[in-house]
Amino acid sequence: MSFPLLLSLTALVVSIVGLTWLIVRFKRFKSQLETIESQSHSLSELSQKVNNLSEETHEIRSGNYGVISRVKELVQQVDNLQSAQQKLAENLVEQDPQSRFYSKGAKLISQGASLEDVMRECDMPAAEAELLFNLHNKQK
């Protein structure tokens, strides 16, 4: 074989090896690029989900603040109504002297007093004390 032919064959083999190496490298880079693009797409989707969840969380918090505010208002209204009810009850007791005895009797019964104790403390006849006793026991 002649030297120029050998040189040409060597150059051809080196070119083929080099080209094969370039093709393999290109395929690896292409595969890596596809992986990176896929990960980038997944990252974008996850980022969008995080943004959506953040917005939902903000909406829920805002709603909770509204609910908490409304509950506080309702608690204040209930407190005011209970206070007004208590004042009305006190006024009723003060207006009717006889009702004081009934209120005192009801209180004694709720504390576990006997029928005789209620009759003695409130200066009530037995029939009235029994009636009060029966009414109070039905309310329990």
**Highest mean pLDDT range out of 21-35, 62-76, 80-94?**
21-35
pLDDT digits (tens, 9 = 90+) for 24-65: 999 999 999 999 999 999 999 999 999 999 999 998 888 888
Residue-level pLDDT at 99 = 67
Q: Do residues 104 and 122 make contact, with C-beta atoms less than 8 angstroms apart?
A: yes
Contacts (Cβ under 8 Å, ≥6 apart) of 136: 106, 109, 110
User: What DSSP string runs through 7-47?
Assistant: HHHHHHHHHHHHHHHHHHHHHHHHHHHHHHHHHHHHHHHHH
Q: How many residues does the chain have?
A: 140
Helix or strand run (H / E) with residue 106: helix 97-110
Residue with tokens 């009305």: 88
pTM of this prediction exceeds 0.85: no
Residue with tokens 């209204």: 77
What's the mean pLDDT when you consider all of the chain?
88
Residue-level pLDDT at 89 = 73
- Among the listed residues 85, 113, 89, the one whose alpha carbon sits nearest the alpha carbon of residue 103: 89
